[in-house]
A and B are shown apart, each in its own frame.
Chain A
Amino acid sequence: MSDHQYRYSSDMASEETMFNDLERILAANNIVGKLANDLKLAVSEAFTNAMIHGNRLEANKNVTINISINNDLIIADIIDEGTGDPGRVSKTEDPELWQERGRGVILMETMADRVSFQRDHISGGLQCTLMFVRKRYDNIKQKSALKAGQGG
């Protein structure tokens, strides 16, 4: 089991730093393939939301990411310091195709096994929790291996 915590200021440069940190954590824990891709996408969506909608790109406000990894689950908490209401997180069911925004929560919900929003009692901001069940990906790996075996 491993736990990781990172804190980023809400400026555009943090996006790349966060991504590099995340890739390092995934590599160190041997998390690869579809699970790694889904995690990167979901965390990236939550991070962008926290930075833009939560902290409104105010550099003095931070986004904190806690990632906890064990053999069964990966849980990522992405916490901002804004005033967003957990009950009012935009979940556009069917964004108009020509819309430039509104796909973040849909992608998070597609990738993660569970997505929830709550008030963080320390920062007072919004906390997004993403949960990934590793077993689901074991099944995907088995199916891919089977397919490769049949193909070869």
Chain B
Amino acid sequence: MDINRTDRENITILTLSGRLDLGNGNKLKETVKGILGTDRTAIHLNLRDVEFVNSSGLGALVSIMKEVRLNRGRLTLSDMADYVREIFDITQLSHIFEIYTTEEEAFNSFQPANII
């Protein structure tokens, strides 16, 4: 899996491509841990090019979410393929993640006027 990082204002955007499974989930956890270590706690994951996710990948995302919250940060997701979204729905994880249709919507949600 490739992880492409872009920093936009105080938000770190990671665009993922490939499979989010056991091995790649660990790689993503390490990447996010490194980012949190630099005090950047607003993180967005763009899943546009994620073609596959399994329970190990979902577990990695839950772990990341917990780590971000522990650091008083915020994690958003966007651009899920229909099949990936279906897996989030089956496992009910769509209830605990902030999922946006597009990266732009997610980015806008971080702006002060839009924070509820």
Contacts and interface: CB of A to CB of B under 8 A. Distances in A.
Interface string A1-41: 00000000000110110010000000000000010010011
Interface of A: 12-13, 15-16, 19, 34, 37, 40-41, 44-45, 48, 52, 95, 97-104, 106-107, 110
Given A103-B55, A103-B58, A41 B96 contact: no
B96 A101 contact: no
Given A98-B96, A107-B87, A15 B23 contact: yes
A98 B62 contact: yes
Nearest to A51: B22
B23 A107 contact: no
16 contacts: A16-B23, A19-B52, A34-B83, A37-B83, A41-B54, A44-B54, A48-B22, A48-B54, A48-B55, A100-B60, A100-B62, A103-B55, A103-B58, A104-B54, A107-B54, A107-B55
A interface SS class: helix
Contacts, number: 60
Interface residues of B, number: 22
Interface of B: 19, 21-23, 52, 54-56, 58-60, 62-63, 66, 83, 87, 90-93, 95-96
